Amino acid sequence: MKKYFASLALIVMGFTACSEKPVRAVPDEFRAGQKVFNSVCGTCHGIDLMGNHSASSLIEENYTEESFSNEQIRNVVINGSQSRVMRSQRGRVSDSEIEEIVKFIRYSQKNKILTENLN
Ligand code: HEC
Protein backbone atom coordinates (compact mmCIF):
# COMPACT_ATOMS: atom_id res chain seq x y z
CA MET A 1 0.00 0.00 0.00
CA LYS A 2 2.76 2.43 0.94
CA LYS A 3 4.58 1.58 -2.27
CA TYR A 4 1.41 2.28 -4.19
CA PHE A 5 1.06 5.71 -2.61
CA ALA A 6 4.71 6.48 -3.13
CA SER A 7 4.59 5.71 -6.83
CA LEU A 8 1.28 7.49 -7.24
CA ALA A 9 2.81 10.54 -5.61
CA LEU A 10 5.85 10.32 -7.85
CA ILE A 11 3.64 10.27 -10.92
CA VAL A 12 1.64 13.25 -9.70
CA MET A 13 4.85 15.06 -8.75
CA GLY A 14 6.07 14.42 -12.27
CA PHE A 15 3.01 16.07 -13.75
CA THR A 16 3.27 19.06 -11.48
CA ALA A 17 7.03 19.43 -11.73
CA CYS A 18 6.71 22.65 -13.71
CA SER A 19 4.23 24.35 -11.42
CA GLU A 20 5.42 27.39 -9.56
CA LYS A 21 5.67 26.00 -6.06
CA PRO A 22 6.00 22.22 -6.12
CA VAL A 23 4.40 20.54 -3.15
CA ARG A 24 3.73 16.89 -2.66
CA ALA A 25 0.43 15.44 -3.74
CA VAL A 26 -1.98 14.98 -0.89
CA PRO A 27 -5.58 13.74 -1.01
CA ASP A 28 -8.20 16.44 -1.61
CA GLU A 29 -9.44 16.50 1.96
CA PHE A 30 -6.02 17.64 3.23
CA ARG A 31 -5.31 20.22 0.55
CA ALA A 32 -6.95 23.13 2.36
CA GLY A 33 -4.77 22.48 5.40
CA GLN A 34 -1.69 22.06 3.25
CA LYS A 35 -2.31 25.40 1.59
CA VAL A 36 -2.71 27.33 4.84
CA PHE A 37 0.15 25.45 6.48
CA ASN A 38 2.50 26.24 3.62
CA SER A 39 1.63 29.91 3.55
CA VAL A 40 1.40 30.58 7.28
CA CYS A 41 3.60 27.98 9.01
CA GLY A 42 5.78 26.87 6.12
CA THR A 43 8.18 29.80 6.28
CA CYS A 44 9.43 28.54 9.64
CA HIS A 45 8.45 24.87 9.77
CA GLY A 46 9.24 24.18 6.14
CA ILE A 47 6.91 23.66 3.21
CA ASP A 48 4.96 20.44 3.79
CA LEU A 49 6.44 20.19 7.30
CA MET A 50 9.95 19.44 6.09
CA GLY A 51 11.42 21.75 8.68
CA ASN A 52 14.11 24.28 7.99
CA HIS A 53 16.73 26.17 9.90
CA SER A 54 14.40 28.29 11.99
CA ALA A 55 11.94 25.71 13.33
CA SER A 56 11.68 21.97 13.59
CA SER A 57 9.73 19.75 11.27
CA LEU A 58 6.43 18.90 12.88
CA ILE A 59 6.65 15.42 11.42
CA GLU A 60 8.99 14.39 14.21
CA GLU A 61 7.91 11.96 16.87
CA ASN A 62 7.62 14.62 19.58
CA TYR A 63 4.65 16.00 17.68
CA THR A 64 2.68 12.90 16.82
CA GLU A 65 -0.76 12.56 18.35
CA GLU A 66 0.53 10.40 21.22
CA SER A 67 3.03 13.02 22.32
CA PHE A 68 1.40 16.28 21.31
CA SER A 69 -2.40 16.48 21.17
CA ASN A 70 -4.52 18.39 18.68
CA GLU A 71 -5.46 20.68 21.53
CA GLN A 72 -1.80 21.41 22.22
CA ILE A 73 -1.20 22.30 18.57
CA ARG A 74 -4.22 24.63 18.65
CA ASN A 75 -2.92 26.17 21.82
CA VAL A 76 0.55 26.85 20.36
CA VAL A 77 -0.97 28.43 17.25
CA ILE A 78 -3.32 30.63 19.27
CA ASN A 79 -1.05 31.54 22.17
CA GLY A 80 2.45 30.94 20.86
CA SER A 81 4.94 28.43 22.23
CA GLN A 82 5.67 28.31 25.93
CA SER A 83 9.11 29.82 25.49
CA ARG A 84 7.50 32.53 23.32
CA VAL A 85 10.05 31.81 20.61
CA MET A 86 7.09 31.12 18.34
CA ARG A 87 4.59 33.94 18.64
CA SER A 88 0.83 33.68 18.48
CA GLN A 89 -0.47 33.15 14.95
CA ARG A 90 -3.97 34.10 15.97
CA GLY A 91 -4.26 36.99 13.55
CA ARG A 92 -3.12 34.89 10.62
CA VAL A 93 -5.44 31.88 10.80
CA SER A 94 -9.11 31.37 11.57
CA ASP A 95 -10.36 28.61 13.87
CA SER A 96 -11.47 26.54 10.91
CA GLU A 97 -8.09 26.99 9.23
CA ILE A 98 -6.40 25.76 12.41
CA GLU A 99 -8.58 22.64 12.21
CA GLU A 100 -7.49 22.10 8.61
CA ILE A 101 -3.84 22.60 9.57
CA VAL A 102 -4.13 20.02 12.36
CA LYS A 103 -5.68 17.51 9.93
CA PHE A 104 -2.86 18.13 7.46
CA ILE A 105 -0.18 17.75 10.15
CA ARG A 106 -1.67 14.40 11.26
CA TYR A 107 -1.93 13.19 7.69
CA SER A 108 1.68 14.13 7.00
CA GLN A 109 2.95 12.44 10.13
CA LYS A 110 1.22 9.21 9.15
CA ASN A 111 2.66 9.46 5.66
CA LYS A 112 6.17 10.30 6.70
CA ILE A 113 7.53 7.56 4.49
CA LEU A 114 6.16 9.37 1.46
CA THR A 115 8.04 12.51 2.36
CA GLU A 116 11.27 10.62 2.85
CA ASN A 117 10.91 8.90 -0.50
CA LEU A 118 10.50 12.14 -2.32
CA ASN A 119 13.36 14.03 -0.79
C1 HEC B 1 7.94 32.92 12.57
C2 HEC B 1 8.23 31.49 12.54
C3 HEC B 1 7.12 30.52 12.87
C4 HEC B 1 5.87 30.46 12.31
C5 HEC B 1 5.25 31.35 11.24
C6 HEC B 1 5.22 29.30 12.92
N7 HEC B 1 6.04 28.70 13.83
FE8 HEC B 1 5.63 27.13 15.00
N9 HEC B 1 7.42 27.28 15.90
C10 HEC B 1 8.42 28.18 15.54
C11 HEC B 1 9.57 27.98 16.41
C12 HEC B 1 10.88 28.75 16.35
C13 HEC B 1 9.21 26.94 17.29
C14 HEC B 1 10.04 26.38 18.45
C15 HEC B 1 9.52 27.18 19.64
C16 HEC B 1 10.05 26.80 20.97
O17 HEC B 1 10.96 25.97 21.06
O18 HEC B 1 9.52 27.36 21.94
C19 HEC B 1 7.87 26.53 16.94
C20 HEC B 1 7.17 25.51 17.57
C21 HEC B 1 5.96 25.01 17.16
C22 HEC B 1 5.29 23.88 17.75
C23 HEC B 1 5.79 23.05 18.93
C24 HEC B 1 5.70 23.81 20.21
C25 HEC B 1 6.27 23.04 21.36
O26 HEC B 1 5.86 23.35 22.49
O27 HEC B 1 7.10 22.14 21.19
C28 HEC B 1 4.14 23.68 17.06
C29 HEC B 1 3.10 22.60 17.29
C30 HEC B 1 4.09 24.69 16.04
N31 HEC B 1 5.20 25.49 16.13
C32 HEC B 1 3.09 24.80 15.11
C33 HEC B 1 2.99 25.85 14.20
C34 HEC B 1 1.87 26.00 13.27
C35 HEC B 1 0.72 25.02 13.12
C36 HEC B 1 2.10 27.17 12.60
C37 HEC B 1 1.21 27.82 11.57
C38 HEC B 1 -0.12 28.18 11.99
C39 HEC B 1 3.36 27.72 13.07
N40 HEC B 1 3.86 26.89 14.04
C41 HEC B 1 3.93 28.88 12.61
C42 HEC B 1 8.34 29.13 14.56
C43 HEC B 1 7.23 29.42 13.81
Specify the fold of 28-112: Cytochrome Bc1 Complex; Chain D, domain 2 (1.10.760)
Hey, CA dihedral for 42, 47, 52, 58, is it positive or negative? positive
Query: pTM here?
Result: 0.82
Side-chain half-sphere exposure of 12, counting CA atoms within 13 A: 14
- Rounded to 5 degrees, φ, ψ at 59 are -80, -25
CA of residue 15 to ligand 1 center, whole Å: 32
**Ligand 1, atom 42: closest residue by C-alpha:** 86
Question: Is a pLDDT exceeding 90 seen at residue 33?
Answer: yes
Lining residues, ligand 1, CB within 6 Å: 40-41, 43-45, 54-55, 58, 63, 73, 76-77, 81-83, 85-86, 89, 93, 101
Q: Which of 117, 119, 105 is nearest to 67 (CA)?
A: 105
Instruction: Write the pLDDT tens digit of every residue in 2-13.
Output: 666 666 565 555
Please state, as a whole number, how many other Cβ atoms lie within 10 Å of the Cβ of residue 33.
22
**Ligand 1, atom 9: closest residue by C-alpha:** 86
